[in-house]
Structure 1
Amino acid sequence: MKFSLLNVLFIVFILYGTGSSSSSSARRLLFRGRPVNRYGMLRPPVPDNYVNTLAENWYNQRVDHFNTSDTRTFKQLYFVNHEHYKTGGPVFLMLGGEGASSDYFIRSGAIATYAKKFNALTVELEHRYYGRSVPTVDLSVDNLRYLSSEQALKDAEQFVQFLVADRLALANSKWIVFGGSYSGALAAWFREKYPNAVNGAVASSGPVEARYDFKEYLGVVSQSLGTDCSNQIREAVHQLEAQLKTPEGWQSIDKELKLCTPLNGSDTASVNNLMETLTDPIASAVQYNSSNGNSIGRVCSVMTNTKDGRTPLERYVKLQLQVLHGGSKCLDYDYMKMIDEIRQSSKTSTSVRTGMRQWTYQTCTEFGYYQTTGLPDSPFGHNIPIDYFSKQCTDIFGKQFNADYIQKAVQTTNTYYGGVKPTVTKVVFPNGSTDPWHALSVLKDLNNSTRAVLIHGTSHCVDMYAPSANDPHELTDARQTIEKQLQL
């Protein structure tokens, strides 16, 4: 498929905008399906030092909506774009997700295109605890208790009330809520839990079903890569796993993959982390597929080139070092180093500034979403098990965050929101067929006003970017369906 220049820039910054260079150690590009950057899964095609054009506004939001005796507030960032608004027009509210908000989408994304057609006011509200909307002095475990989707939805409901009271002309306006990825799920849930606050929702690539063992994620990655490419990766990983069984094999892996520290194959957590570090960039190429960036085609052109005289493992090593990790000095896979980074709770720590600590907490307390190699035919081997992820929750946040706790939290989330069958009307669920996250979204119409749109051959949140003349017809048709939904 073809993308506009902005989409290409988006992929470039996703894959290379995290500070890695040929003189530095290579770190993973994804972490639990989330790019390792400050913007999260739905990041705009801008660098991390992007400067917002629209004025930054701040709303005094309550820290805890569900404790009447707690009167504390914090400053929550929001942007307003009046460019296309005419009195009486609708309000398009975009919810921030698991990363910092910018004004890109409400100025330049598909939502801005819809705003121009419908004379809408566009607004974006940053999610609590991400970006600069942090309610507490630090992100200690005790302070993170106010980080939840339920608190975030109440933030949005209170913000809508505030904006209507602040701008009386909006009192009779139609409100539509937008979101992508995690915030796509939030958009659907907002319409479900606060139907009187908004008239409809566009929930792009929204994983509305929480899942502890999300083994289907890598299943979609494998399907999107195709049989030949997946088989070559499977053989390469099989050869690599054979080396993991002996000290001599560990030394071979050190040398072949240029590991930053010598591999101890008896350190199960670091072996798991190594295998995930190798798998993540391939998943990223699928999740953010682009014909002009790291893509399915680029991965498979290396792995299926059986005429180059290399073994599948040798091609896999080439793919990792030369293509996916950009010729970095060494590959960093140390488990405890990763854990120690995410344990840092200061607002200035890297894990907080990039949103990784916050997102890890939400997966441990609400969603799971752990991308394991649990499928029996996984081409990525079987060294990324579910207990590797529950161990991370315990090691980072404390012993109470164990496997049983996470599974109960996931069950609670699905009971509260309804999983893939939320009780909603006037919602559209666009998803890309190559996007691994579509496995947790709504893929069939729920009722006459709630539509599912599966866009074949497209990836994560592609419908949210500005339309291009090069867009495939199914993507164009999907945007037309969304436009019709906005008129309901």
Structure 2
Amino acid sequence: MLDGEAEGTDYFATAGAMARYAQRFGALAIELEHRFYGQSVPTEDLSVDNLRYLTVEQALKDTDEFIKFANKHLSLDSSSSKWIVFGGSYSGNLAAWFRERYPHVVAGSVASSAPVNAVYEFQGYFTGVSQSLGTECTNQIREAVRQLYDQLKTPEGCQAISKLFNLCTPLNGTAVDIDSLHNMMIQLLAAFGVAAQYDGRPYTMGVSEVCAIMTTTTNDTTGSTPLDRWAKLSAKYSKGQCVAHDYNESIKDLKNTSKTSPSVKAGVRQWYYQMCAELGLFMTTGLEDSPFGQNSIPLEFFTKQCVDIYGKQFSPEFIQTAVNRTNRLYGGFKPDVTNVVFTNGAVDPWHALSVLTDLNPTTRAIYMNSTSHGADMLQSLPNDPQELTDARLAIEKQLQLFLQ
């Protein structure tokens, strides 16, 4: 299992679907932490000069070197001991791209919810969120967003919003810093995005729970307006923590290059760097008539972040060129690859950037209507939808073919 943009764990090697496949085939299960995340930081700090070694190419080469190391130190016969790599989300990209670049090293890959087609601006993310939440729920969100912006027109309204959404620092009258406003909207809209992306995984609220709150119209503690209900949802999502929206404070943290800084320990400085330097994938509300507010999260906000955190060289032209290079190197929607299973769920907004149809007889796509991001990689549960159970069985059959 190739870990992605966070500290590695042993979940997938011990309890996830890969662990069951390993048991089925009598295989050793290993989880490999990604360079520059968790304990795998090879430099003294995470300066921009050092972060230049944080690339997809280097992560793929790390995997190749690790397999060589394992073959040697575990005395594995490379001609008879076959490797399969797994990944989910960004690491799903790595799993597919590793098979593409190192087909002589691994017999096959499973790429779950892998957004292999890089884009500078991902407007389709919130379109997918809206589709997953449904018309009634989305209409309530649209009205809640309208009410919020109406409140921001007056000093009294700004004060009310600061209190309603438990902002860590109050909004400054009508002279609200635009970057802080965008930062606030990213956090306030996150509850909807996470609901669609993970749909009720442990520790998250799913689509049904979020929409039950947003569409409740009875005049009780839920709130009598869409804005009130959004505020209740936000409080539940943030678990009572205040919303830290101040842009300058967030940039200050993200500019901290120490291994012990909060953003580095959480992997945020590293992941933002990968987005600015190679992948893009900036989730915006830039589409006209977006129910989340067309100007709530513009592309310009993310571009400014890249410059403010990493330097003026990370211009829009630089980012677009980097995204184009990534697609040119790895093939975008059509990677030149064999022996890969791409899995996606319709509820997951990220499926729009993945492979949804078979590319060739050995590179198959499994599309599930009732599941979300990386669901097939998780431990089986009694209440799993049948198509998720069927997908895991289909993956197992493909693995058997890869291992022949």
TM range (shorter): over 0.9
SS at match of 1:454: strand
Within the candidate set 374, 381, 394, 1:461 is matched to 374
Aligned residue number for residue 275 of structure 2: 363
Return the alpha-carbon distance in structure 1 between the equivalents of residues 243 and 34 of structure 2. Answer: 33
Structure 2 Cα separation of the partners of residues 355 and 403 of structure 1 = 23
Counterpart in the other structure of 1:431: 344
Instruction: String of CA shifts for 1:425-464, please: whole Å, max 9, x gaps.
Output: 1100111111111111111110111111111111111111
Residues 83, 105 of structure 2: 8 Å contact kept: yes
Partner residue of 1:115 out of 22, 39, 55: 22
Structure 1 unpaired stretches of 5+: 1-93
CA apart distance, 1:257: 2.1
21, 32, 38: which is aligned to 1:131? 38
Aligned partner letter, 2:147: Q
Which piece of structure 1 moves more, 123-132 or 143-152? 123-132
Q: Distance in 1 between matches of 2:194 and 2:18?
A: 25
The structure 2 residue matched to 1:354, chosen from 261, 266, 271, is: 266
Taking the aligned partners of 1:232 and 1:482, their CA distance within structure 2 comes to 39
Mapping 1:193-212, distance limit 5 Å:
193-212=101-120
- The one-letter code matched in structure 2 to 1:222 is S
Question: Are the aligned partners of 2:70 and 2:76 in contact in 1 as well (CA < 8 Å)?
Answer: no
Question: Which residue does 2:214 correspond to in 1?
Answer: 303
**Distance in 2 between residues matched to 1:326 and 1:153, nearest whole Å:** 37
In 2, are the aligned partners of 1:291 and 1:297 still within 8 Å (CA)?
Answer: no
Residue 255 (structure 2) pairs with residue 343 (structure 1)? yes
**Maintained 8 Å contact 1:365/1:406:** yes
Which residue is 1:274 aligned to? 184
Instruction: Give 1:340 deviation, angstroms.
Output: 0.6
Post-superposition shift, 1:476?
0.6
TM-score normalised by structure 1 residue count: 0.78
Report the Cα distance in structure 1 between the residues aligned to 2:111 and 2:229, rounded to whole angstroms: 39
Q: How far is 1:312 from its partner?
A: 1.6
2:297 to 377, 384, 387: 384
Among 114, 131, 141, the residue aligned to 1:233:
141
- Aligned partner (choices 51, 71, 79) of residue 144 of structure 1: 51
| Root-mean-square deviation (Å) | 1.5
Which residue pairs with 1:256 in the alignment? Answer: 164
Deviations 1:307-337 (CA, angstroms, capped at 9, x unpaired) = 337122222222222x222333x32211111
Whole-Å separation in 2 of the counterparts to 1:185 and 1:376: 30
Rounded Cα–Cα distance in structure 1 between residues aligned with 2:100 and 2:247: 39
Give the structure 2 partner of residue 319 of structure 1. Answer: 233
Whole-angstrom distance in 2 between the partners of 1:167 and 1:120: 13
Q: How does 1:435-446 map onto structure 2 within 5 Å? A: 435-446=348-359
2:237 partner amino acid: L
Q: For residues 432 and 110 of structure 1, what CA distance do their matches in structure 2 show?
A: 16
Q: 1:294 aligns with which of 189, 205, 208?
A: 205
Q: Secondary structure at the match of 1:286?
A: helix
Structure 1 residue 483, shift from structure 2 partner: 0.5
Q: What is the match of residue 69 of structure 1?
A: none
Q: Tell me, in whole angstroms, the C-alpha distance in 2 between the residues paired with 1:428 and 1:119.
A: 20
Shift of 1:251: 2.4
Q: What code does the residue aligned with 1:414 have?
A: N
Code of the aligned partner of 2:250: M
Deviation at 1:420, TM superposition (A): 1.1
Q: CA deviation at 1:143?
A: 0.7
Letter in 1 for 2:103: P
1:160 & 1:406 partners in 2: Cα distance? 32
Greater displacement, 306-315 / 413-422: 306-315
Question: Once structures 1 and 2 are overlaid, which stretch shifts more, 224-233 or 235-244?
Answer: 235-244
Q: Distance in 2 between matches of 1:317 and 1:262?
A: 15
Whole-Å Cα distance in 2 between the matches of residues 467 and 252 of structure 1? 45
Superimposed CA distance per residue, residues 244-269 of structure 1 (whole angstroms, 9 cap, x where no aligned partner): 23334322322322322121344110
Q: Which has the higher helix share?
A: 2
Amino acid at match of 2:224: R
Distance, in Å, in 2 between the alignment partners of 1:255 and 1:467 is 42
**Matched residue type, 1:285:** A
Provide the C-alpha distance between the structure 2 equivalents of 1:259 and 1:181, rounded to a whole number of angstroms: 31
1:23 corresponds to: none
Q: CA deviation at 1:291?
A: 7.8
Tell me, what secondary structure is at the counterpart of 2:76?
A: helix
Does residue 283 in structure 1 map to residue 190 in structure 2? no
Residue 126 of structure 2 is aligned to residue 218 of structure 1: yes
Give distance in 1, aligned partners of 2:344 and 2:124.
Answer: 15
- Aligned partners of 1:291, 1:394: CA distance in 2, in Å? 34
Give the whole-Å Cα distance in 2 for the aligned partners of 1:241 and 1:257: 13
Aligned to 1:153: 60
> Residue 375 of structure 1 corresponds to which residue in structure 2?
287
CA distance in 2 between partners of 1:262 and 1:290 (Å): 31
**In the aligned structure 2, how far is the partner of 1:163 from the partner of 1:259?**
49
Task: Report the structure, 1 or 2, having the larger strand content.
Answer: 1
| 2:5 paired residue number | 98
Corresponding pairs, count: 393
- How many Å separate the matches in 2 of 1:202 and 1:143? 31
Q: What's the CA shift for 1:170?
A: 3.3
Alignment of 1:45-124 (within 5 A): 94-124=1-31
Kindly provide the CA deviation profile for residues 181-233 of structure 1, in whole angstroms up to 9, marking residues without a partner as x: 11111000000011111111000111111111111111111111110000000
Query: CA offset at residue 468 of structure 1?
Result: 2.3
- How far does the alpha carbon of each residue in 1:461-480 deviate from its partner, in whole angstroms, 9 at most, with x for none? 11111222321110011001
User: Which runs of no fewer than 5 residues in structure 2 stay unpaired?
Assistant: none
